[in-house]
């Protein structure tokens, strides 16, 4: 019996949750064949839900990253001033990752390894986060911040400065050194000093030249 789109999405989410449970139980990535065998569904119904492993991984990634998507959308819809808005944009996702790592470091590490091995499948989520950050940069520029910088340049610089709070792997290696107070100081520094106008008064611009 064909599934309605709503029913299909609900069943895909249920199966994705089951796969995450299996990853946690067995401590490894779950192959397509094992997911099918453990699903409780017939082969025909499972293949109706997931054409192949990539399709299955997409559903798992969507479920795992949904909390991150929700908090980004909440922040983007808020009327917070740009500096606070950017802080919350990073802080809320960081707190999700920190809580997950704290609850089960081994499970979190396996999920990170799965994401790295299937990075092309999660690239769209990275691109969406960058899209939202570009919007935040534009809002900040409208209030006089990041003078003299193209949005793409500001995006690249901010991502590099904030990466320890957005890359899940960082939680594994230096998570004990990361906290909201440091993140707040980093965001403050970004807003105080990030400018393309060398020598601008009160900009905090670093005019150090790269050796050639």
Tokens of residue 75, six digits? 């922040």
Q: Which domain holds residue 175?
A: 5-193
The structural domain count of the chain equals 1
Which regions of the chain are under pLDDT 50?
199-206, 208
Do 190 and 161 meet the contact criterion of CB atoms below 8 Å apart? yes
Has residue 206 been placed in a domain?
no
CATH of the domain at 84: 1.10.357.10
Has residue 199 been placed in a domain?
no
Has residue 83 been placed in a domain?
yes
Whole-number pLDDT of residue 200: 45
Backbone angle region of 202, left / alpha / beta, with phi > 0 → left and psi within -120 to 50 → alpha: left
Has residue 162 been placed in a domain?
yes
Whole-number pLDDT of residue 207: 52
**pLDDT tens digits, residue range 72-93?**
999 999 999 999 999 999 999 9
């Amino acid at each position: 019996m064909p599934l309605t789109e709503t029913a299909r999405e609900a069943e895909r989410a249920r199966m994705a949750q089951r796969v995450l449970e299996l990853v946690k139980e067995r401590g490894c990535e779950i192959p397509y064949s094992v997911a099918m065998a453990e699903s409780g569904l017939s082969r025909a119904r499972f293949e109706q839900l997931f054409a192949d492993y990539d399709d299955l991984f997409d559903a798992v990634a969507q479920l795992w990253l949904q909390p991150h998507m929700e908090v980004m959308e909440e922040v983007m819809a808020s009327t917070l001033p740009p500096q606070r808005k950017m802080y919350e944009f990073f802080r809320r996702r960081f707190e999700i990752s920190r809580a997950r790592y704290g609850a089960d470091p081994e499970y979190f590490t396996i999920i990170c390894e799965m994401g790295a091995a299937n990075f092309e499948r999660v690239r769209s989520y990275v691109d969406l986060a960058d899209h939202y950050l570009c919007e935040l940069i534009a809002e900040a520029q409208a209030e006089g911040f990041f003078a003299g910088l193209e949005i793409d340049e500001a995006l690249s610089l901010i991502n590099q400065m904030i990466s320890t709070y957005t890359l899940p792997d960082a939680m594994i290696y230096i998570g004990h050194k990361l906290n909201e107070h440091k993140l707040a100081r980093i965001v403050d520094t970004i807003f105080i000093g990030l400018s393309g106008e060398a020598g601008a008064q009160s900009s905090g611009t670093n005019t150090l030249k790269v050796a050639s």
